[in-house]
Amino acid sequence: MARISVFGIGYVGVVSAACLAKDGHDVIAVDVDPGKIDAINNGLSPIVENGLDELIAEQHAKGRILATDDVQYAIDNSDVSFIAVGTPSAPDGSVGLKYVEIVCDNIGRALANKDAFHSVVIRSTIVPGSTEGTCIPVLEKASGKTAGKEFGVGYYPEFLRESTAIEDYYDPGLIVFGAMDNGTADILTEINETLPCKIHVVDLRTAEMVKYTSNTWRAVKVTFANEIGNIAKACGLDGQTVMEILCSDDKVNISSYFMRPGFAFGGSCLPKDVRALRHLAREKDVTAHILEAVMEANEAQIARAEAMVEKSGAKKVGFIGISFKPGTDDLRESPLAELAGRLIRNGVEVEIFDPYVHEAFANENSTAGRGNDVVPDLGGRLNADLGAVIDGSDTVLVGNFYRDTVERLEAVDKPMIDLTRMNRKKVSNGTYEGICW
């Protein structure tokens, strides 16, 4: 069991402190508010949260939790410190790090007087780069020590919902943390290893980004549901019933398949149906902010890929895939076809490897090239020889994933733009450029 100090007896801090104490850890809660300190030291909860009164009373009676405003005492009598202070918005909308900086400075000053190794773990919600760019410099300056060597550093976001926080703590949907050193990683693993959830160990900035992505995704879902509700009501329908039925489908609608960053969407359904629902909203005089933004954002992703090709300076581009998705010859509203058409209009020569579209043309199917209205002489641009397409191109653009092409593509020694991520381990570096990685 660990000795843990929790800085900030707010919502996250006090719930975390109480649950850590229940798990058998010795916990010191630290705050500047004497009212919160007195409450915990009298076995009372300083906030209203289901089950927290009983939990704090129980752990206080067992001697596992106490509160203080003495930073040095807390550092001297713990092995790891969690920082859980607020990060309210600054006037310009950026994250406010004032309280985090103050706590880091106070902890750093205390670390200067401690010989034993100590880990500092940020739990406050901070944007990617804040731990490395703000917290660590403040801690190092105040302590005179080096992060990752003379003291540990981690970022460990929380995903607790008010009113169900204790339940969420013991049955989490997500556990993620980053650590600079093995000691800090070991402590965070020990704290979480008995919980029924996979532990994701990543770098500090990824952990920071996951927290913001989680919160923003929930906000987007609420906004989308409200928007559908508004349109449904305008049509005389019950929006909650519509969304309940939608959410009953965990194969497609509640699925991770569509949550993979990459290129734009296309096909015979999504573009036209978003446009149609957007048009219906306009007819009903309902402002549909998300629907308006969806098509704009999709167009922007195509423009982003176009700019990447332009930046490469290629005069001839080899497309790996041209249909709207792998495994089909359907080009209806294919973003790859749209991209190819734009490049051709701008004087770039385009050659295409797409086994399914090529098969349709080779068999002289009546539907060969179905949906294409943007790529001139599509049949003449197709080449069944992957090697020839690669060798004859200045830049290779990977638009669709075909498993049997990966080995050959990974051996390419020329500029490559990847819109699908043919290898999960690859990130933008040198001549390789991924659209979202």
Same structural domain for residues 278 and 403? no
128 in a labelled binding site: no
Q: Is residue 246 part of a domain?
A: yes
Name residue 316's beta-bridge partners: 349
- Which long-range contacts (C-beta less than 8 Å, at least 24 apart) are formed by 48-53? 49/11, 49/14, 49/15, 49/162, 49/163, 49/165, 49/166, 50/163, 50/164, 50/165, 50/166, 51/166, 52/14, 52/15, 52/18, 52/165, 52/166
Is 235 considered catalytic here? no
Q: Is residue 377 part of a domain?
A: yes
Q: Is residue 209 part of a domain?
A: no
Tell me which of 109-123, 132-146, 247-261, 274-288 is least confident: 247-261
Instruction: Give the pLDDT confidence score for residue 255 in this predicted structure.
Output: 87
Look at residue 9 and tell me if it is in a domain. yes
Regarding whether 241 and 107 lie in a shared domain, the answer is no
How many structural domains does the chain have? 3
- List Cβ neighbours of 161 (8 Å cut-off, separation of 6 or more): 168
Please check if 131 is assigned to a binding site: no
- Domain end residue (candidates: 261, 296, 331): 296
CA torsion, ordered 141, 142, 145, 148, to nearest 10 deg: -80
Q: Provide DSSP, 105-166.
A: HHHHHHHTT--S--EEEE-S---TTHIIIIIHHHHHHHH---BTTTBEEEE------TTSHH
Question: 102 with 7, same domain?
Answer: yes
Q: Which of 197, 247, 269, 436 is catalytic?
A: 269
CA dist., res. 311 & res. 316, Å (int)? 13
Q: Write down the pLDDT at residue 190.
A: 97
Q: What is the CATH number of the domain that holds 18?
A: 3.40.50.720
**Is 162 flagged in the annotation as binding?**
yes
Half-sphere exposure of 288 (CA within 13 A, CB side): 27
Confidence (pLDDT) at 431: 95
Q: Are residues 84 and 185 in the same domain?
A: yes
220 band by pLDDT with thresholds 50, 70 and 90: very high
Same domain, 345 and 384: yes
Residue 292: inside a domain, yes or no? yes
pLDDT recorded at residue 292: 95
Q: Are residues 160 and 69 in the same domain?
A: yes
Name the percent of the chain lying above pLDDT 70. 100
pTM: 0.88
Q: In this structure, are 235 and 309 located in the same domain?
A: no
Domain boundary (167, 202, 237) is at: 202
Question: What are the b/e assignments for 34-61, b being 16+ CB within 10 Å?
Answer: eebbebbeeeebbbebeebeebbeebbe
Domain range for 140 is 3-202
Same domain as 27, residue 46 = yes
Domain shared by 182 and 269, yes or no: no
Q: Find the helix or strand (DSSP H, E) in which 359 lies.
A: helix 355-362
Please check whether residues 325 and 378 belong to one and the same domain.
Answer: yes
Residue 208 maps to a domain: no
Task: Please give the average per-residue pLDDT across 278-289, as a whole number.
Answer: 96
Interval 158-171: pLDDT, tens:
999 999 999 999 99
* pLDDT > 90? residue 98: yes
pLDDT computed for residue 429 by the predictor: 94
| Closest residue by Cα to residue 188 from 5, 8, 2, 13 | 2
Residue 119 confidence class, pLDDT cut points 50, 70, 90: very high
Q: Which of 296, 320, 352 is the last residue of a domain?
A: 296
**Binding residue per annotation — 325?**
yes
Asked if 265 and 170 sit in the same domain, the reply is no
3-state secondary structure of 98: helix
What confidence category does residue 254 fall into, taking pLDDT thresholds of 50, 70 and 90?
confident
Q: Are residues 219 and 288 in the same domain?
A: yes
117 is in an annotated binding site: no
Residue 207 within a domain:
no
Pairs from 340-345 (Cβ < 8 Å, separation ≥ 24): 340/374, 340/375, 341/374, 341/375, 341/376, 342/302, 342/306, 343/306, 343/309, 343/317, 344/375, 344/376
For residue 59, give the 3-state DSSP assignment: helix
